[in-house]
Amino acid sequence: MLPSATASKCLYRFLAAILLWMATTYGTAALAQQTRPERWDRATASTLVAYIERLGNHGLDPSDYQAAALKEAIQAGDPVALERQATASFGLVAEDLAIGHVRPGQRSRYYIAPNSLDPVLVARMIDVAITAQQVSWVLDSFAPHNPEYISLRAALAGPDGADPAKRVALIASLERWRWFPHNAGSRYLLVNIPEYRLRLIENGKPVASHKVIVGQIGKQTPQFQALVTGVILNPSWNVPPSIIAESVGRLVRSQPATARSRGYTWSYRAGHLEVVQRPGPGNSLGQMKLDMPNPLTVFIHDTPSKELFDRPDRTFSHGCIRTQEPFDLAQKLLADVGWDRARIDAVVAKRITTRVALGSPVPAYVVYMTAVPQPDGSIAYLKDPYKLDAALAAKLS
């Protein structure tokens, strides 16, 4: 269920738990004497068929898992064909529940490391499913078990699942939770683009929540992950070439005095204009930026345009994520290295760029969930600003 080494430990623990249950149910001696099925038989394969036919409750299409071929193998009574087809169908279901149906190369603007599933562990879980006659239970173990996924499944099985628009959001969000790292860490930042919201998660619970601004429709914030290693107070801004070409370069050339008053300095290197904006409250990064190196050059930072946080739809940036109450977030992240709000404010007041390292790096995940479970048990159905859900739902069906 979990990726890499963590997946192995988790599934081994699950295997041990099933064997303990069997020993408790049948008794150790009786268990040892039981005739263990060496292969799939008609009964266990039929249970697998029934499970596949119910996969719509995960937002998956049962026709993707060769149930018709498995039924034919059951009816034909050929043990070799039955073994081959049941094993193949089980593996397809397990893989899609564990890592998602849409493979990494087909995920739109998605740069979060994919989960993995060890084929050896799948084979061992097949043995468990046959021996314990618990095909459904074992397959359920591959799916995410976080509260969000469970709530979305419940909504899909209820009246919301019959509403076409809500169904698309539910199916797309379930799939994205299958993509999400199953071992995200005990402490991490989670940004949900359609929700315009950042949360700091500790031990599975949000301990901080902030409004955010994300990328414009034509400059979309991608789904990605990065490792936050520090907080930069009073950052300077190396203006990207695309923004120089779009606006800042024109300001520098046509109104240099205005550009200087806004903190811009510039030079030419090999004939190319390079622009830097000095630290200060007017800096486009604001007065706080998380140090989170990534090849996409997308960051979480402050902004001088505070009024935009009052808008309900907040797609205004060039792709980076602007956060409200940035110093509150910084204080949460730096509390374990002795930085309180007074110390942060004192450094910010000096307008000198200062980097403060976190005690331990904190992963940041930027995701796209349009169906979001609420504390009262309801589901919030959000706008789909980048129009990604319909295309994903089509890939799932």
Ordered DSSP codes for 18-38: HHHHHHHHH-HHHHHHS---S
Rounded CA gap, 266 and 343, in Å?
32
Q: Which two tokens stand for residue 60?
A: 């998956």
- Residues 160, 165, 171, 173, Cα dihedral to 10°: -100
Q: Which residues are catalytic?
A: 301, 320
> Average pLDDT in the 147-172 region?
97
Domain edges within the chain: 4-143, 186-236+279-396, 238-278
State pTM to two decimals. Answer: 0.89
Rounded CA gap, 290 and 277, in Å?
17
Give the pLDDT confidence score for residue 10 in this predicted structure.
52
CA atoms within 13 A on the CB side of 350: 9
DSSP state of 115: P
- Yes or no: say if 168 and 371 are a contact pair by the CB < 8 Å rule: no
Kindly provide the b/e burial profile for residues 103-116, where b requires at least 16 CB atoms within 10 angstroms of the residue's own CB.
Answer: eeeebeebbbeebe
So what's the architecture of 186-236+279-396 in CATH? Beta Barrel (2.40)
β partners of residue 290: 231
Give the pLDDT confidence score for residue 271 in this predicted structure.
82
**pLDDT 10s digits, 199-219:** 999 999 999 999 999 999 999
**pLDDT 10s digits, 247-303:** 998 988 999 899 899 989 999 898 899 999 999 999 999 999 999 999 999 999 999
Q: How many CB atoms lie within 10 A of CB 356?
A: 18
